[in-house]
Amino acid sequence: MPDDSRTIGEVRLLEFRGKIVRGAGDREMRERFCAAQAGGGTKFVFDLREVSFLDSAAIGEMVACLKRARNREGTLKLILVRGGRPEVLLKLAALDRVFEIYTDERRAVESFSA
């Protein structure tokens, strides 16, 4: 997974693609998030619009990243395709109540200043 991340104002946006599964996928998600967090930020967005599948390890890692952000008085929000597999899995796990979920980048970034 290439490091598709950038900063928009104070928000660090990390883009993910393909399948994120136990092993390399969830480890890379953790490493990319921790590297972004080490830069001193507290506002993060995972853009998952190009993700076709998440397994339980990836979902667990997303929750762990959210906890890491909150431990430093920050947060992590998600961008998903409505009705896509990742959104369905998050709803089944009731994590759509835990994460703020958006369908486009602009709204996700603007939500930090609302």
Where do the structural domains in the chain lie, given as residue ranges? Answer: 4-113
d(CA 33, CA 3): 10
| Predicted local distance difference test score (pLDDT) of residue 39 | 87
C-alpha separations of 109 from 18, 59, 67, 98 in Å = 23, 22, 19, 18
The class level of CATH for 4-113 reads alpha beta
Does the pTM of the predicted model rise above 0.85? yes
For the chain, residues with pLDDT lower than 70 are 1-3
pLDDT digits (tens, 9 = 90+) for 50-79: 999 999 999 999 999 999 999 999 999 999
- The type of residue at 62 is M
| Predicted local distance difference test score (pLDDT) of residue 3 | 60
d(CA 8, CA 110): 10
Q: Strand pairing of 11-20 and 4-8? A: antiparallel
Task: Give the residues across from 5 on adjacent strands.
Answer: 14
| Predicted local distance difference test score (pLDDT) of residue 48 | 96
| Predicted local distance difference test score (pLDDT) of residue 71 | 96
- The type of residue at 8 is I
**What's the distance, CA 85 to chain centroid?**
15
| Predicted local distance difference test score (pLDDT) of residue 1 | 47
Closest CA to 21 of 61, 50, 48, 49: 61
